[in-house]
Chain A
Amino acid sequence: MKRYLKLVNFEFNRFFKLYLVLIGITFVAQMSGVIVESKSYHNQANEIMQEDLLTQSEYVQQYGPMSFLNISESIWFLGTIALCAVTLIIYVFFIWYRDWVGKNNFSYRLFMLPSVRLNIYLAKATTILLFVLGLIALQLLLLPFENQVFKWIVPEVFRTDLSVLEITNLYYLNLLIPKNILEFILFYGAGMTAVMIVFTAILFERSYRLKGIFYGIVYCGVSILIFLAPLLLQASLLENYFYPMELLFLEIAACVLVLAGAIWIGNMLIKNKVRV
């Protein structure tokens, strides 16, 4: 346990500088987005009101008010969220391959640590989870602040105000920031299962190299198939035999099964088969 925590700490620190850069970019881009979008709405409104000689309320009636949605659906927001997501997805691979690439072979050291090797696997997964949660937390912290800045720039008559809860319930943000704890566990549980499937597939490749790529792909296919099995059965053979709640529980069971499989196979590979 002690060594697992040390490994988590170590893996966390290894990515931390880049992570801070990511946080910096997110902060700067989103704040710029809030300012630029708000200003441009406000300026545009002023221009049109002057040209067409409209009052503020007439303008709002004709052109509609501005809400935070206009900002959160802008490229500033979508871009940063996509950037963070893509970076972390790439890091899911790089967190393993960085131990092998280059002239320094950290994989030697890692696999010669006097600790159960599964700890390495779990520590890397934990690190990914921490980074994801960290970014979500950052977003939750930024939203009220950004909302406030939006309110400062755009006068009240032009605005439809949304609370943070309302903002997070809209569209894609709802996926990232679920409303209740159950959804949170479901979404992130499924997400982490996907991460671990990829981890185990990477270990297939690291163990059997060229052949391992094939094994890894087959393994991913089987995992996805098992995960989707209840849905597929429901849609085909069983013809809506299950109630939605039953289907949900079956899905959870399938997910747990796939997750357990990923960890078990990953453990076998990292313990007995992996090569430096």
Chain B
Amino acid sequence: MIEVKNVAKKFGRKKVLKGVSFTAEKGQITCLIGINGVGKTTLLKAIMGLTPFDSGEILINGEKIHPGTYEKITFIPDTITMLPNMKIREAFTFMADFYNSWNAERAGELLKFFRLNEDDRISDLSKGNAAKVNLILGLALDVDYVLMDEPFSGIDIFSREQIADVFTSHLIEDRGVIITTHEINDIEHLIDKAVLLDNGVILKEFDTEEIRENEGKSVIDVMREVFQA
């Protein structure tokens, strides 16, 4: 379980997170939804130990983050994390070199599924293909948790379909997933839990199937109620 407890963070005088608490379970997809603002990405970075926060606590499987945690949790940001002059194959080799949890077989499978060529240079990839490579770098790690920042933003419709495909084929199944997004359309049926974040505050946290079952509302209905209140 990932536990975020009362996390606050300022950039200069601007409060980006004002005491945020939520949990993300293993085997569930938790979606951080926010219409605007930088809070979502900051939150993911804070969980990953990529940005310090001012107060509060974040625990992953009951522990604070340490180097070994990176074999158990991975982050797929919306920017590519490999050197531009690397070929895809070299990026894979780098991952295999440093991570025990790298699953080369799965990386190969995903590469084939996306019809990418391992001799392609990262700097030559289109935005959609770069996002796919980024996704492979995260998903081919045998980790417990995957954090994804806006996996669909700025990507063409066919790439989005492919990525959504991979979600159900390779992503879930016993892993814990946190996805941030500002538009829910692509993944509304996929997520277990929605966390609505606005201006650094969590406005609502709910189980999506429960809200459909008990209140007959779609996720967008709830977003409309909460964000426009």
Q: Which residues of A line the B interface, CB within 8 A?
A: 3, 6, 10, 14, 102-106, 108-109, 111-117, 207, 272-273, 275-276
Contact = CB atoms under 8 A, between A and B. Distances in A.
A104 B84 contact: yes
Contact of B81 (A6, A109, A114, A273): A109
Nearest to A14: B83
28 contacts: A6-B98, A10-B94, A14-B83, A102-B84, A103-B79, A104-B80, A104-B82, A104-B83, A104-B84, A104-B122, A104-B123, A105-B80, A108-B75, A108-B79, A109-B81, A109-B82, A109-B94, A111-B50, A112-B50, A112-B74, A114-B68, A114-B98, A114-B99, A114-B100, A116-B67, A275-B51, A276-B50, A276-B51
A102 B79 CA distance: 10
B79 A104 contact: yes
B84 A3 contact: no
A245 to B, nearest CB: 44
A105 B77 contact: yes
A3 B98 contact: yes
A116 B49 CA distance: 13
Contacts of A6: 97-98
B71 interface: yes
Interface of B: 45, 48-52, 67-71, 74-75, 77, 79-84, 94, 97-100, 122-123
Contacts of A10: 94
- Max chain B Cβ within 10 angstroms of own Cβ: one of A10, A104, A105: A104
Nearest to A105: B79
A111 B49 contact: yes
B39 to A, nearest CB: 16
Given A104-B80, A108-B81, A112-B74, 17 more contacts: A3-B98, A10-B94, A103-B79, A104-B122, A105-B80, A106-B83, A108-B77, A108-B79, A109-B81, A111-B50, A112-B50, A113-B98, A114-B68, A114-B99, A207-B52, A275-B50, A275-B52
Contacts of A115: 67, 98
| Pairs of residues from A and B, 4 with the lowest C-beta to C-beta distance, nearest first | A109-B81, A114-B70, A108-B81, A276-B50
